[in-house]
């Protein structure tokens, strides 16, 4: 009986340690209020390349970190939502036709929802996250794997950057045309992003 009582403080200490670590591992991170965040959609056309940028979108993630708060060991969840009409090219005609092609009137958002992820250390204190999830564009959802480079910054924020090549027709999006068909966009597009998360 005495041995049991002696073990109680040890068990309590182990429980507290595990509970504290679990709280840290399940911390929710959201997009930081930073000028550094950006999402860019780019492609080609018969006349010139085009780019649309957005600095307004929402995203949440749950990162698993070691107790020192500096090393990423896993990603429990990650999602983002981008309002299509927040993408701007600086050319009203291009924006209008892009919104129409992406069916922004009925499918307002481009969304990604994580299904699973693996994390591996990379060079210079960076981590490679292979994020497997569902990407929804124009109301059509496809499974994708996105390679993300993550860095834990000195202030505790986490910067994630990545790039994903897509084909518009895979999402039942007809590549838009301009100038009565004289300018035609290519099927392939690239989605680049820089996301800064904070607790």
Q: 116 is written with which tokens?
A: 């699973």
Q: What is the mean pLDDT of residues 32-55?
A: 88
Average model confidence (pLDDT) across the chain: 85
Task: Please tell me which residue, 35 or 164, carries the higher pLDDT value.
Answer: 164
* Own/partner long-range contacts of 11-17 (Cβ < 8 Å, ≥24 apart): none
The model's pTM is 0.82
Which class is 27-198 in CATH? mainly beta
Q: What is the mean pLDDT of residues 54-65?
A: 93
Q: 44 is written with which tokens?
A: 């080609």
Taking only the tens place, the pLDDT of each residue in 80-106 is 999 999 999 998 888 998 999 999 999
Task: Please tell me which residue, 22 or 128, carries the higher pLDDT value.
Answer: 128
What values do phi and psi take at 186, rounded to 5? Answer: -75, 160
% of the chain at pLDDT higher than 70: 84
The pLDDT value given to residue 178: 67
* DSSP assignment string, 85-147: GG-B-S-HHHHHHHHHHTTTTT--EEEEEEEEEEEEE-STTEEEEEEEEEEEETTEEEEEEEE
The pLDDT value given to residue 70: 86
Task: Categorise residue 184: left if φ over 0, alpha if ψ from -120 to 50, beta otherwise.
Answer: beta
Q: pLDDT at residue 12 above 50? A: no
In 3D space, the residue among 191, 185, 180, 195 whose CA is nearest the CA of residue 31 turns out to be 195
The pLDDT value given to residue 14: 39
Taking only the tens place, the pLDDT of each residue in 146-186 is 999 999 999 999 999 999 999 999 999 998 776 666 678 89
Q: pLDDT band at residue 35, thresholds of 50, 70 and 90?
A: confident
């Amino acid at each position: 009986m005495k041995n049991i009582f002696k073990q109680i403080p040890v068990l309590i200490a182990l429980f507290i340690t595990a509970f504290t670590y679990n709280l840290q591992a399940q911390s929710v991170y959201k997009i930081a209020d930073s000028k550094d965040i950006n999402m860019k959609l780019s492609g080609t056309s018969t006349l010139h390349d085009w780019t649309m940028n957005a600095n307004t979108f929402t995203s949440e993630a749950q990162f698993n970190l070691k107790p020192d708060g500096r090393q990423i060991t896993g990603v429990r969840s990650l999602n983002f939502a981008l309002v299509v009409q927040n993408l701007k090219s600086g050319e009203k005609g291009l924006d209008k036709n892009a919104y129409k092609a992406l069916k922004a009137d009925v499918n307002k958002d481009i969304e990604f929802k994580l299904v699973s992820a693996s994390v591996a250390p990379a060079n210079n204190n960076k981590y490679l996250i292979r994020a497997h999830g569902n990407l929804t564009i124009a109301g059509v959802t496809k499974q994708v794997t996105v390679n993300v480079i993550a860095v834990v910054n000195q202030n505790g924020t986490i910067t994630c950057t990545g790039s994903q090549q897509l084909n518009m027709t895979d999402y039942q999006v007809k590549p838009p045309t301009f100038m009565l068909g004289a300018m035609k966009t290519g099927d392939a597009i690239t989605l680049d992003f820089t996301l800064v998360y904070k607790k």
